[in-house]
Amino acid sequence: MQHTEFQTYSYTFEEVAPTVVEICDFLRLDPSEKEHPGIVFLEEILPELQSNKYIRGGYKILPVDELSIPDGQIVIADTSLRVERQVAGYLKGSEYAALFLCTAGDLFSELSTYLNDQNDFLEAYIVDTIGSLTVEKTMDKIQAALELKAAARGLEISNRYSPGYCNWHLSSQKALFSLIGENPSGISLTDSCLMQPIKSVSGIIGIGKTVTRKEYGCVVCQNENCIYRKIKQQI
């Protein structure tokens, strides 16, 4: 199932936009309160975001050379990724690894920064939230496409895991980006291993005959700011 070339997917905002209900659930707003400032702004801003056509992502699939759960390491193309024991355990049985990147572009961050500069803090937070949910919904689509391809070959996939979450240190971004190599996502890394554009995600998905898709370990996670944890709380 190896794909040494980066498999790219592109979307418009309309194709991957979170619904009003999904955004309100995340923000803990009641969508029926039509006069709430947050709801009023939400109804105004969503049509304006339709112009965002720079939403793209994808993955490169490489064979797994070695996986050590006790050491929390996975070796891919002679490169060792220290993903820590929790993620390594979730990748058990992986014969291949899909290394992914996805971005919602600069629009959300630029607009959020502008609104903050205008002291419109609620509006800035709403735009930031829409950006976060958009990139996650985009990855949901890409992951679903990967799952179909894997199933056609009798393979299963794991959930997706990213540096900075599930105790996987952010510094692993450098090795991850090195393995992915040239790609059309336009995502770059800062010296502190943060991604630009800000509304971007990266990570790994395990693929194999015996791989199981486990739920995220949000119950034991200590990261209060994790978007996966916040989304799970809405379920």
Tens of pLDDT along the chain (235 residues)? 777 789 999 999 999 999 999 999 999 999 999 999 999 999 999 999 998 888 999 999 999 999 999 999 999 999 999 999 999 999 999 999 999 999 999 999 999 999 999 999 999 999 999 999 999 999 999 999 999 999 999 999 999 999 999 899 999 999 999 999 988 899 999 999 999 999 999 999 999 999 999 886 544 455 555 555 554 455 4
Distance set, CA 42 to CA 19, 22, 181 (Å): 10, 12, 38
What is the pLDDT, as a whole number, of residue 104? 96
CA 165/CA 84 separation, integer angstroms: 10
Tell me the Ramachandran region of residue 52: left when phi exceeds 0, alpha when psi lies from -120 to 50, beta otherwise.
beta
The helix or strand, by DSSP H or E, that contains position 172, with its residue range, turns out to be: none
d(CA 56, CA 104): 7
170 DSSP assignment: G
DSSP H or E run through 23? helix 20-27
Give every CB contact of residue 203 below 8 A, 6+ residues apart in sequence: 99, 100, 160, 161, 162, 163, 176
User: Under a CB-based contact definition with an 8 Å cutoff, are residues 157 and 205 in contact?
Assistant: yes
3-state secondary structure of 42: helix
Other C-beta atoms within 10 Å of 115: how many?
20
Establish whether the linkage from the previous residue to 70 is cis, with ω within 30° of 0: no
pTM of the predicted structure, to 2 decimals: 0.90
Q: What is the CATH number of domain 3-234?
A: 3.40.109.40
Tell me how far apart the alpha carbons of residues 141 and 147 are, in angstroms, rounded to a whole number. Answer: 10
